[in-house]
Structure 1
Amino acid sequence: MSPLKPLRADAQRNRDQLVEAAREVFAELGTAAPLDEVARRARIGNATLYRHFPTRDDLLVAVYAEEVQALCAAGLDAAGLDTVDRARAYLVGDADALVDRLFEWLAAFVRHVAEKGDLARSLEPSVRRSELHEEWHAAMVETAGRLVDRARNAGGLQADVDPVDLLVLAAGMATADPARVKRMLRILRRGVVAS
């Protein structure tokens, strides 16, 4: 498979406007919202919408992929990690601050699951969906893993803390009231910090 050619500046701008409008429309009206409304809010014609996103699934994928990317980027940024400067991943920082950053990101992850989960669940079942879910899951596990490693290496977490366990527990909190989520995250934190 050959790599995709980069879009012209005007085409990229149209695509970005469509994804942003879709994010708003789907949040407001649900993932079954009329795609005409997405085009209208983006101030772009329907033909352009369908040229960029031939199916609803394509648009849902684009919106959700950006949500996952933003969540993971925020996690890496919170830990002082980025994809350009890998050397910073090995720096040891203040253990309490690194545990704070991990749990701030876990709170964002809970919000993501609560608010954006419908996007992922709305995709039509297909091999492509499975591959995308695996890719998105892997990105979140990698982000959580890097946050956990950083906090553990600084002495802030118990040695057996597993990032996947934290994600599973955090995902389970997504249906709870936000005040209860804060309480549950505090309880989880007490269970994993190094004594």
Structure 2
Amino acid sequence: MRADAARNRERIVDAARELFVEWGAEVPLDEVARRAGVGNATLYRHFADRDALVRGVVAHVTDSVAARARTALADDGDPFDALCRFVFGAVEERIGALCPMISHAFDREHPELLAARDRLDALVARLLDRAQRAGAVRPDVAVGDLLMALSQLSRPLPGTGCGQLEQFMARHVRLFLDGLRAPAPSRLPGTPATLEALRRPV
């Protein structure tokens, strides 16, 4: 891909992510092109339809969060501090914005999405395992617990806007991280949320 084409694709994906967070995955594609500063023809050259654009945004956000996890794993310092940096970084990427997009009727089993998801899952599992082996994180949580909490913490409540979320996000993330610390002051009900259990059809 030529450099100018790659820049246009990146602008489109960034604009789409912002608008999906603000308005949901049904935002007009004309508005995505306008926000990206490109013509409609340029948008459709990169993304043939809405499903392709949604898939591109989901893969982009997933890869961005995976990059945050990779950076945290490269830190040889305190494992819990590294996990905390990843969690704050993942929330900044607005991973919770994926939820309404993934509920959109498109192919969730697309190879591009599966590959991005697998990369993220493996990196987060290593981060969590390292902190647990160091005795810094309670042993009764799993990767699914962590990713589910990240999703909820970075998603506005119904009836509220993104602005309200930004005011309180760091505070609520810190509350969550304090709850991960070992030794745990209480016993969690149920069993740890594994990725397999979260993705099992109901």
State TM-score, norm by structure 1: 0.69
- 1:133-166 CA-to-partner distances (Å, cap 9, x unmatched) read 5444323321211212433455545677643443
For residue 22 of structure 1, the aligned residue among 16, 23, 29 is 16
- Bigger drift between 149-158 and 136-145 goes to 149-158
Letter in 2 for 1:184: F
Q: State the distance in 1 between where 2:72 and 2:143 align.
A: 16
The reply on whether 1:140 has 2:140 as its aligned counterpart is: no
Deviation at 1:71, TM superposition (A): 0.8
Cα separation, 2, equivalents of 1:184 and 1:56: 35
C-alpha distance in structure 2 between counterparts of 1:161 and 1:169, whole Å: 11
Aligned length, in residue pairs = 171
Of the three residues 4, 22, 32, the one matched with 2:26 is: 32
Structure with higher helix content: 1
Aligned to 1:98: 79
What is the alpha-carbon distance in structure 1 between the residues aligned to residue 179 and residue 103 of structure 2?
A: 29
Equivalent residue for 2:39, pick from 45, 52, 55: 45
Alpha-carbon separation, structure 2, partners of 1:135 and 1:190: 32
How do 1:58-69 and structure 2 match up within 5 A? 58-69=52-63
Q: 1:47 to 1:108 in 2, by over 3 A?
A: same
1:116 paired residue number: 98
Structure 1: runs of 5+ lacking an equivalent: 1-6, 82-92
SS in 2 for 1:190: coil
What SS is found at the alignment partner of 1:77? Answer: helix
Amino acid at match of 1:98: P
Query: 1:44 Cα shift?
Result: 1.8
Q: Look at both structures and tell me which one has the larger radius of gyration over its CA atoms.
A: 1
1:86 counterpart residue number: none
Q: Which amino acid aligns with 2:85?
A: E
Answering whether residue 74 of structure 2 is matched by residue 80 of structure 1, we say: yes
Report percent identity of matched pairs.
35
Q: What amino acid maps onto 2:48 in structure 1? A: P
157, 182, 185: which one pairs with 2:177?
Answer: 185
The structure 1 segments of at least 4 consecutive aligned residues displaced by more than 6 Å after TM superposition are none
2:117 is aligned with 1:130: no
User: What residue number does 1:12 align with?
Assistant: 6
TM-score by length of 2: 0.67
Structure 2: how far apart are the matches of 1:186 and 1:159? Answer: 14
2:162 maps to none
1:110 positional shift = 5.3
Corresponding residue of 2:191: none
CA distance in 2, matches of 1:191, 1:136: 33
Q: Is the contact between residue 107 and residue 185 of structure 1 (CA under 8 Å) also seen in structure 2?
A: no
Structure 1 residues 144 and 11: CA distance shift in structure 2, 3 A: same
Could you say which residue in structure 2 is the equivalent of 1:4? none
Whole-angstrom CA distance in 1 between matches of 2:12 and 2:150:
31
Residue 151 of structure 1 corresponds to which residue in structure 2? 131
Distance 1:173 1:14, change over 3 A: closer
Q: State the Cα distance separating 1:101 from its structure 2 match.
A: 1.5
